[in-house]
A and B are shown apart, each in its own frame.
Chain A
Amino acid sequence: GAVVSQHPSRVICKSGTSVKIECRSLDFQATTMFWYRQFPKQSLMLMATSNEGSKATYEQGVEKDKFLINHASLTLSTLTVTSAHPEDSSFYICSASSTVRVDEQFFGPGTRLTVL
């Protein structure tokens, strides 16, 4: 149980294009989903928290117009990196907490974004 998927697992795009990453909870309903960014050999840094049906809450220093988050249902959240630039290249990971185990976050496998 508590499986989270992400798609795509890897994406390479040209500078200036937008990229959408999907995060799905496969076997549970996720009232809250989180988006993290991880640079090589570093820890996870929270970017934003999204709740189904409401606007995402962004961490300090994260541009909400740059990283658009939509949490359309209890099983799907999307992160869109708009007008991507090489410095946006990173490993993006989502997590979800369920209505039953609200204090535990279950992570997706991550998406490796490379912007050329």
Chain B
Amino acid sequence: GQQLNQSPQSMFIQEGEDVSMNCTSSSIFNTWLWYKQDPGEGPVLLIALYKAGELTSNGRLTAQFGITRKDSFLNISASIPSDVGIYFCAGSPGTASKLTFGTGTRLQVTL
């Protein structure tokens, strides 16, 4: 099935640094979601975006719904060790529709 392209694929950063990752699609989505998955666990919803151009924050996390509706960005400020994990974007074409997931960005934070 279709997958969204996420970049970077993985990143090593130092504690305290800011992190940026993005997700692109060849088709338009009406909802963008960002999840974090820890090893052996299910994904946890971080941020949901519903409108093109929307910028939404959740603590140190900020996500934006691209104006073209074909991309989304997630920023993490002042990273801490517990930010380690895999971050997935997911797009939905409409209400209660199935999600298409990104390829994931693996984040590792060093002290």
Contact = CB atoms under 8 A, between A and B. Distances in A.
A54 interface: no
Interface stretch (B12-20, B38-46, B59-67, B70-78): B38-46
Contact of B41 (A32, A95, A97, A110): A110
Contact of A104 (B41, B45, B88, B101): B45
Nearest to A91: B40
B48 interface: yes
Interface in B65-105: 88, 90, 92, 95-96, 98-99, 101-104
Interface residues of A, number: 28
A62 to B, nearest CB: 10
Given A60-B1, A104-B45, A104-B48, A34 B98 contact: yes
Interface residues of B, number: 24
B54 to A, nearest CB: 13
Interface stretch (A14-22, A38-46, A71-79, A81-89): A38-46
A107 B1 contact: no
B106 to A, nearest CB: 8
Taking chain B's interface residues, is the majority helix, strand, or loop, or is none over half, making it mixed?
loop
Taking chain A's interface residues, is the majority helix, strand, or loop, or is none over half, making it mixed?
strand
A103 B31 contact: yes
Given A43-B101, A44-B101, A104-B33, A59 B1 contact: yes
Interface string A6-45: 1000000000000000000000000110100000001111
B42 A107 contact: yes
Given A43-B88, A110-B42, A105 B99 contact: yes
7 contacts: A43-B3, A95-B42, A107-B44, A109-B41, A110-B40, A110-B41, A110-B42
Given A107-B35, A112-B40, 15 more contacts: A4-B42, A34-B99, A43-B88, A45-B1, A45-B101, A93-B42, A93-B43, A105-B33, A105-B90, A105-B99, A106-B45, A107-B42, A107-B43, A109-B41, A110-B41
